[in-house]
Every structure is written in C-alpha cells, then in structure tokens.
Structure 1
Amino acid sequence: MNDISKLLEKFPIKITVAALLIILIVYLIRKFIKIFFDKTSFLDENREETIIHFTNQATKVIGVVFFLLYLLSHFFNLEKLVTGSVVVAGALAVILQHIIRDYIMGLTYLFERQINYGDYIIINGERQGKIEEISMRHLKIRQYDGYLYTVSYSNITELQNGTRGRRRVNESLILNYRQNPDTAFKVMEEVARICNEKYGEYLLKDENGVSVERFQFNQITELNVDFMGHKYSISGLVKEADYVEASKKLRYELALAAYNSDLIMAESTSTSH
C-alpha cells in the first residue's frame, strides 16, 4: 500500500518531466531540420517546405505515441499484455497492417517526389484542390468549393499532379447524338480561337515568350458518354496560378457558344418530357 502511495505521489512529476522532455526533443528535431535547410540550397524551396511540413506532422505523431506508451507502462506490463493475449495481438496486427501500409505509401509519394506541399492534385479522378497538409498517414487538400478533403494514402488509387508551374485546362461539351458534328466542329474551333485571343495571358510561355500549348479543339474525345452523347473538348497549357480562372473563362465561352449556336446538348436517358 505504501509503495502504491509513493508511486502516485511521484507519478505527476514523472509524467510532467516525460512530457516536457518529449516536447523538447521534438522542438530540437524540427529546429535542426529548419536550420539545415536554411544553410543549404541543394533542394528547391518548395521541396524543402514539403519535407519540413511532413517532419512536423511526423514528429508530432511519434511524440504522442511515445508519451502514451510511457504512460501505459506505469499501469501495465506492455510486453506481457501484447504477447500474452491472442485477441489483443490479433487486433493490433489488423490495425497496424493498415497504418503501416499508409506510412509506407506516404513515404513513397514523398521521396519519389510525386507530391509537394501546395501542389494542385486530382485524387482518384474525383477530388481536386491544393495540398494543405502532408501527414504520415494522409493528405489534406483544399477543394475549389472551400471544403477540406482528407484521404489516407492507402485509399489513393490514382493521383494526378499538375506539373510544377503548369497545368492543362481541359473543358468539354457533351452534345446530343442528333447534333451535326460538322456544325459542332466549327463552333468549337471558333471557341478555341476566341480563347486564344481573349485569354492568351493565362497560357504558359517558353523562354522566348511563345505559348507552349495554345487553346485547341481536340475534336470528339469520347463517344457515347453515359449513353447520353458525344464529348467535344478544348484544352490549353496554362500557368498553375491561373488554372482556376482559365477554367472558368473557358467554361463560360463554351456555354455562350452552345447557346448562341443552338447546339443540341446531351440529356439523360431518364429525362422525361
């Protein structure tokens, strides 16, 4: 009984010291990495920011894990608890399987330079936006509608990254089967011409000031889209910072042209008249 009382008396002090020590170590690791990058220049600034951001997230998680293990070690024999219980060991194995998979895939994305902090990406062909957080297990992207989307690395089956400093705008009209393709071609080519004339400042330029890829009509890019019609698309290579605005302008010109030219838009097969 006396031993338990002594332990409880010293317990708050031990926990406080352990917490402060972990916080100090985390701070020193982060500080060292920041100073290292400030004094060196073998990586570009965006890459350095990505590694610093990832390290901050990783050290936070590792620090919390070590603190919890230290806390539990005062109440349980962790080694016997894990090895002595088949149920607990099995549950931990299942949980850690997904966690370790997330960690490995996250490190792969990071060290293969597939993603950087601040990149504009498309995940699984559905979600797109700017990377706001790169943690050990997941990504967080700020979508164009303002929502923050979180996805674990193991759930990423396809990742498209707008090439650093450049992005390809690609907008389409899905027209009805009854629409004459020759008429549609003329309208779309005119839209491409108008966009090059009105929004040329958004286009990515080479060192000579020449557009790398102007707005261009790509003709019919897909047939029988969802059993509704054919897809006619226009694309152009723009500066990354202008991607959202260029997309809006291109969509506007397509909608205006479809209205002025009385193009027959595709309709769902379930639409009733």
Structure 2
Amino acid sequence: MSFLGLFQRLPIKIITVALLIIFTVYLIRKSIRLFFDKTSFLDEKREETLMHFANQVTKALGLVFFFIYVLSHFFQLEKLFTGSVVVAGALALIFQHIIRDYIMGLTYLFERQIHLGDYVIINGNRQGVIEEISMRYLNIRQYDGYLYTVSYSSITELQNGNRGRRRVNESLVLDYKQNPDDAFKVMEEVAQTCNEKYGEYLLKDENGVPVESFQFNQITELNVDFRGHRYSLSGLVKEADYVEAGKKVRYELAMAAYKNDLMMAESPNTSH
C-alpha cells in the first residue's frame, strides 16, 4: 500500500490532523512566550496572566477545529446546523451565555481588572486568591482551602484588593440588649489599641502619616439576621500586611468582648 493510500485512511488522517493542531498550538504559545521574553512594556504579573489566558484560548480553539474536522467525515455540517430549527434555537440559547462569558472575560482581562494571584471579593460573599483565569470562568482559592469557580456572566460585583492597599474591616455583632453606649466605649478603646500596637501595618503617605488609621465606624448594620447590631472597626493597611493585620484586629475585638462582658448576638434557635 502506498503512503498516499495509507494517508487516505480515516484514522491516519485524523491522527495526522490532531498532531498538526497540537504542533500549531505549541508554536503559537511558544511565539507568545518569546514575544513577552523579548519585550518589557508589560509587568511580569500582567504577562503571566495574558500567557495563561492565551493557553486557554489556543487549547479551546484547537479542540474546536479538531472536532469540526472529525464531524465533517460523518455529517454534512451545513445540513446539520441549518436543517433543524429546534437544534439551531437550542444552540443559540447555549451560545448566548457562553459568548457573554467570553466577552466579559476579555473585558476584565484587557481592562486590567484582574491578574493571576490577585485577592478578590466576588459578589460580596466569596473571597480568595485568583488561581486560574479561564476563557469563561475564574477559579478562586478561598482561605478555607476550597476552590470556588465562578463564570464571568454571574459576577455582579468584583472588588480587587491587589492595588497596594487594603481596608481591614472587622466587626462584632452584639445582642439587642447590649447598651450601645458601653459598646461604643469599648470599640473606641479597641481602635486606639490597634493604632498603638499595630501602627506599622497602616498604609502611610510620603510624610509617614497614616492614610486612614484604625477607627470605630459605630453601628454599620441593624437587625443582623434578626440577632443584633453590627459594630465595625476599619483601617487602611498595606496589601502585604492585610491578612496579618486582620488577625490582630480580630484578636483585639475578641479580647475586648471577653474582658468587658459584651453581649454577643446569638441565633434565635440557640437553646440554653
């Protein structure tokens, strides 16, 4: 059997096309990597993010081209996609969400709103470090170790803490029966203690003056889960010190609540 005849056999053709696609994807990724290595107009973190995204795109496009090639040997693709109104409608509905994810992902990426390793808060209730940036979703590694996956189209609010500054915002939820005047006095003392003990964590201006010291923000929320009121304390700290500063502030709040017998809010279902 001649080489031409062997090539015409479907399995050989499919394997050959698969290898060509893999080689093409490799060349594209290698070219992008060489381009970033030879240039310096983007910072390293930005380059890594774009490279990671490019890897995802080339992988997806390679798979799409491969499946289209394989299907073309078994189906007449033109009739398959145009002959059924129901299938076309279903595909349009599916692709509507997918395309929206892609567009929003590109927007977040090219507007420099996110990078690999950024600490983000998603929709106000999920927070962690960006571990993977895909074409359609983000993988967020939370502090409890769980990996949270969120599609771009489901993101209604994104807060990025990696901008050189972070605001520590900790609070106590106290019972309705707690006298606010007593609680105010304790919280003011905690803010003063934090400024004295942990002032090195605070973000400072060019003159060495804290941009925003630890301060008591009074009652920031009433009727929290029908349990009590939230008394909050905040301070603007350096990004690198955010986690440690948060731990210190929480400790001081817990110690102050213990020493001053503050009445912590409890669940209505708690039985004694």
In structure 1, C-alpha distance between the alignment counterparts of 2:206 and 2:103, rounded to whole Å = 39
In structure 2, C-alpha distance between the alignment counterparts of 1:237 and 1:173, rounded to whole Å = 19
How far residue 192 of structure 1 moved from its aligned partner, in angstroms, is: 1.4
Counterpart of 2:51 in structure 1 is 52
In structure 2, C-alpha distance between the alignment counterparts of 1:50 and 1:209, rounded to whole Å = 33
SS of the aligned residue for 2:166 comes to strand
How far residue 149 of structure 1 moved from its aligned partner, in angstroms, is: 0.8
In structure 2, C-alpha distance between the alignment counterparts of 1:167 and 1:256, rounded to whole Å = 24
Counterpart of 1:134 in structure 2 is 133
Show CA shifts across 1:62-89 (max 9, x none): 1111111111111111111111122221
- Over 3 Å counting, the alpha-carbon distance change for 1:157 and 1:7 in structure 2 is farther
In structure 1, C-alpha distance between the alignment counterparts of 2:247 and 2:18, rounded to whole Å = 50
Identity over the aligned pairs, expressed in percent? 79
Counterpart of 1:3 in structure 2 is none
How far residue 272 of structure 1 moved from its aligned partner, in angstroms, is: 4.0
SS of the aligned residue for 2:186 comes to helix
In structure 1, C-alpha distance between the alignment counterparts of 2:235 and 2:137, rounded to whole Å = 31
Show CA shifts across 1:214-245 (max 9, x none): 21111111222222222111111122232222
CA contact (8 A) 2:117 2:131 kept: yes
How far residue 263 of structure 1 moved from its aligned partner, in angstroms, is: 0.7
Counterpart of 1:24 in structure 2 is 23
Question: What RMSD over aligned residues (CA atoms) do the two structures have, in Å?
Answer: 1.9
SS of the aligned residue for 1:101 comes to helix
How far residue 169 of structure 1 moved from its aligned partner, in angstroms, is: 0.9
Q: TM-score, normalised by structure 2?
A: 0.92
Say yes or no: does 1:106 pair with 2:105. yes
Q: Which moved more, 1:131-140 or 1:73-82?
A: 73-82
Counterpart of 1:180 in structure 2 is 179
How far residue 163 of structure 1 moved from its aligned partner, in angstroms, is: 4.3
1:185-200 equivalent positions in 2, closer than 5 A: 185-200=184-199
Letter in 2 for 1:210: V
Counterpart of 1:224 in structure 2 is 223
How far residue 27 of structure 1 moved from its aligned partner, in angstroms, is: 1.6
In structure 1, C-alpha distance between the alignment counterparts of 2:80 and 2:164, rounded to whole Å = 52
Q: Which moved more, 1:65-74 or 1:44-53?
A: 44-53
Show CA shifts across 1:139-183 (max 9, x none): 001000111111111111221111412211100001122222221
SS of the aligned residue for 2:26 comes to helix
Q: Which moved more, 1:123-132 or 1:220-229?
A: 220-229
Q: Which moved more, 1:205-214 or 1:225-234?
A: 205-214
How many residue pairs are counted as aligned between the two chains?
Answer: 268
How far residue 203 of structure 1 moved from its aligned partner, in angstroms, is: 2.1
SS of the aligned residue for 1:125 comes to coil
Q: TM-score, normalised by structure 1?
A: 0.91
Counterpart of 2:201 in structure 1 is 202
Show CA shifts across 1:190-215 (max 9, x none): 11122222222322233443332221
In structure 2, C-alpha distance between the alignment counterparts of 1:157 and 1:100, rounded to whole Å = 17
In structure 2, C-alpha distance between the alignment counterparts of 1:16 and 1:144, rounded to whole Å = 44
Show CA shifts across 1:21-70 (max 9, x none): 11122122222222222222222222222111111111111111111111
How far residue 7 of structure 1 moved from its aligned partner, in angstroms, is: 8.6
Counterpart of 2:73 in structure 1 is 74
SS of the aligned residue for 1:209 comes to coil
CA contact (8 A) 2:7 2:13 kept: no
Counterpart of 1:212 in structure 2 is 211
In structure 2, C-alpha distance between the alignment counterparts of 1:241 and 1:146, rounded to whole Å = 20
Letter in 2 for 1:29: I
In structure 1, C-alpha distance between the alignment counterparts of 2:117 and 2:180, rounded to whole Å = 41
